[in-house]
Amino acid sequence: MTRADKDLSLRTAWAEVEIAAGYDRGRPGYPADGVEFALEPLPDRSAVRALDLGAGTGKLTAALVDAGLDTVAVEPAAGMLRVLRHVVPRARVVPGSAEDLPVPDGSADLVTAGQAFHWFDRDRALPEIARVLRPGGVLALFYNSRDDAVAWVRALSELVGPAEEADHVSVTSRLEPADLLPWFGFDARRRFRYEQELDAARLVDLIASRSYVIRRPEADRAALLDQVAALARTHPELVGRQHFSMPYVTTVLRYRRAERATRAGQVLRS
């Protein structure tokens, strides 16, 4: 299966409201201090307009809204959009993609992507993001990674296995400071601790929502999810616990729009 075929299969899956609802139940949010880090270079916090790309069901959108930001969420999948509008009603939600943003030039101070940048076509998305950002604007990429230093989390990772892990797993280590040039200059990277409250059913939802699990044959997928449910019942650290916390390390990569970013040989107005 080609990458384009995989992308299409996932877009089709995430168009289903039931799958999007499971994604929303299982996926973690993002730490407030990560949002504060993204905002640091912007002097007038009260006037910041944020644009959240590949917003999904609004996990990062909600953190932006909770920080008091005027936020537009952009998401291509119909099922995700429906859940997003319900879950984060204070955000303006619009269908669209990072490669073709449905917003005017220079209309955002902060552009974010939570667990989404690896899906973008960079050649098309980066000039679009530069177009919609005001001079001095910030692009912040957020990625959550499970903390395998905890024994039961390590057992979960071993159960899921690395073979079909999605591209995002190592994106934060693969990106080099110059990779987003000439559109964006690297500014800073920071990691934050975050915990997600779960029960056995939400743990299953979490794993079921992963792209590498959605792509599995139905029988293999069902067998894996049964094993995840069994782990929640039987692991020594989880036995008898109705609720437990999943520890994450959230990496935030912060970039600034280049002062003289160019597109097709023309300088974007600053």
Give the pLDDT confidence score for residue 260 in this predicted structure.
59
pLDDT of residue 155: 97
Q: Any idea which architecture 3-146+167-195+248-267 has in CATH?
A: 3-Layer(aba) Sandwich (3.40)
Q: Which segments of 136-210 does DSSP mark as H helices, in order?
A: 151-160, 171-174, 200-208
> Which tokens hold the place of 115?
């667990």
**pLDDT the model gives residue 7:** 52
pLDDT below 50 — which residues of the chain? Answer: 1-6, 8-9, 12, 163-168, 262-267, 269-270
Look at residue 42 in the predicted model and tell me its pLDDT: 96
- Phi/psi region, residue 126 (left: phi>0; alpha: psi -120 to 50; beta: rest), is alpha
- Contacts of 156 by beta carbon, 8 Å cutoff, 6+ apart: 146, 203, 207, 228, 231
**What is the spatial distance between Cα 82 and Cα 16, in angstroms, rounded to a whole number?**
10
pTM (two decimals) = 0.89
Q: Any idea what the Cα angle at residue 181 is, between residues 175 and 184, rounded to 5°?
A: 90
* Amino acid code (one letter) for 59: K
Task: Specify the DSSP class assigned to residue 183.
Answer: T
Is the Cα torsion angle 176, 182, 187, 189 positive or negative in sign?
Answer: negative
- The phi, psi pair for 198, rounded to 5°, reads -135, 165
Give the SS3 label for residue 122: helix
CA distance 103 to 100: 9
Q: Which of 94, 82, 133, 85 is nearest to 112 (CA)?
A: 133
Nearest-CA neighbor of 181 among 134, 140, 127, 128? 127
Which sequence spans correspond to the domains of the chain?
3-146+167-195+248-267
